[in-house]
Structure 1
């Protein structure tokens, strides 16, 4: 197990759904002890999620970390700290939808993106109330969706998208399409921006395959148990203890992992 080095500032990056937020209820009360300790020690907490900026902003404020940037839409964009300048507007989402619309019909019919679902469909797929589903539909960089076909068809769909410059990533429940940008890439850039004169000690927490690069790029990482998701494959860091798995799922596991690290 890796101890916190006393000569390096600490920064924490975390996924939301199934990690800091409960998979079913989206609550984070079980993580409050660790959140309070991070706030007390002025440790930056960077939310990194497939959620949109419109979804993440109120969550970030409620958590008490409005002064920190956030990674949105699975790394496709960044939300500035409260009061900061927003990332320049982009037409990525419309270009993305146009490309997906031209996919072979026998493959396209198996992908139901948020733009296809509408607010009602997003509510049914996520359990979010209508107001929250509207925020989830406010996309700028990426398109999550549900895949209804088989594994072979999915592989063909992903390969077709790649040939057209679109990347596909699996999350806890959705296949998310974008023009690139990853949580890991954003993580390094944000850490350097917050601590320009020091090499911060980066901690990352996640529960799904789309978190793997972020977990592997961190100095210390925790795979939070999520019995509802597809799971994270065994990572090389698990052999030397730089990556560990929590026994408890969601915010309870998140809380235990960080409390153990901060008190170690």
Structure 2
């Protein structure tokens, strides 16, 4: 059973943060994950990935006892739950297709591609690309137009109740719920003693700012995040390394700073 009042509850982005941007590997983060598990802490994965994608990965990481935030906060995959079926995705796609043609043609969403196409833009194997297409709440995609066109695209979607958020790779469309919204719901539920959030992209910023300890993971493939609230006073830091290596060092440093390991040995 998932522990209420864990000593440290981590909210972590996946691609480019806990997972390597190119290989999707996570093994460099294993030491910190193991330390956290011994302390009774937990990790809530917070990602743009679908529930169908996250379920097997959550099991592989040894985090199946914790909920996961999916599709950029639009949904929560509870422990042991099956991926939810929702009408949000169909409504979102209909609104997207209702846009003027000059705006619509320069956005390519996952729903515009077959599994091979999604594999081509993500680097995923085709079977995993199929899981990435199993969407319930949101639509990631690539904008190929210019910046004024992108602004017009985002404004037109806003008139239809849809928000557009830039992640590490994709411009993702949804009906507005964020990772930070889902994080707040889970913090209320579990009441951890301390919270930590890690991410590398603009859609992680609010989550990072909401945590007791925030970490910006560098993304060599994108522009660095601007200074965030809490960074000047040191509550938010920037990892020295990208991906799971930076994740591992940052989580280890927070565990050391909180002296959680010492507390565990005293009470063990």
TM-score (norm 2): 0.91
Give the structure 2 partner of residue 91 of structure 1: 87
Q: CA deviation at 1:229?
A: 2.3
Q: Map of 1:38-49 to 2, 5 A cutoff?
A: 38-49=36-47
SS of 1:144 mapped into structure 2: strand
Answer with 231-240 or 92-101: which moved more: 231-240
CA contact (8 A) 2:7 2:40 kept: no
Structure 1 gap segments, 5+ residues each: 1-6
Q: How large is the RMSD of aligned CA atoms in angstroms? A: 1.4
Give the structure 2 partner of residue 211 of structure 1: 204
SS of 2:217 mapped into structure 1: strand
SS of 1:106 mapped into structure 2: helix
Q: CA deviation at 1:236?
A: 2.4
CA contact (8 A) 2:6 2:40 kept: no
Q: Deviations over 1:25-75 (max 9, x none)?
A: 000001111011111112120000000000001111011010100000001
CA contact (8 A) 2:6 2:42 kept: no
Q: CA deviation at 1:261?
A: 1.1
Q: Deviations over 1:79-101 (max 9, x none)?
A: 0112x4x5763200000000000
User: What is the distance in 1 between the residues matched to 2:134 and 2:83?
Assistant: 15
SS of 1:248 mapped into structure 2: coil
Give the structure 2 partner of residue 167 of structure 1: 163
Q: Map of 1:64-213 to 2, 5 A cutoff?
A: 64-82=62-80, 84=81, 89-195=85-191, 200-213=193-206
Aligned residues: 253
Q: CA separation of 1:174/1:88 partners in 2, compared to 1, >3 Å: closer, same or farther? A: closer
User: What is the distance in 2 between the residues matched to 1:116 and 1:236?
Assistant: 37
Give the structure 1 partner of residue 241 of structure 2: 248
Answer with 153-162 or 221-230: which moved more: 221-230
User: What is the distance in 2 between the residues matched to 1:21 and 1:8?
Assistant: 24
SS of 2:115 mapped into structure 1: helix
Moved over 4 A (4+): none
User: What is the distance in 2 between the residues matched to 1:54 and 1:231?
Assistant: 30
Q: CA separation of 1:114/1:176 partners in 2, compared to 1, >3 Å: closer, same or farther? A: same
User: What is the distance in 2 between the residues matched to 1:73 and 1:12?
Assistant: 18
User: What is the distance in 2 between the residues matched to 1:241 and 1:125?
Assistant: 36
Give the structure 1 partner of residue 14 of structure 2: 16
SS of 1:236 mapped into structure 2: coil
CA contact (8 A) 1:10 1:200 kept: yes
Does 2:35 match 1:37? yes
Q: Deviations over 1:202-248 (max 9, x none)?
A: 10000000000101111110001110123311112111000000111
Answer with 199-208 or 25-34: which moved more: 199-208
SS of 1:238 mapped into structure 2: coil
2:253 to 240, 243, 260: 260
Give the structure 1 partner of residue 265 of structure 2: none
Does 2:213 match 1:223? no
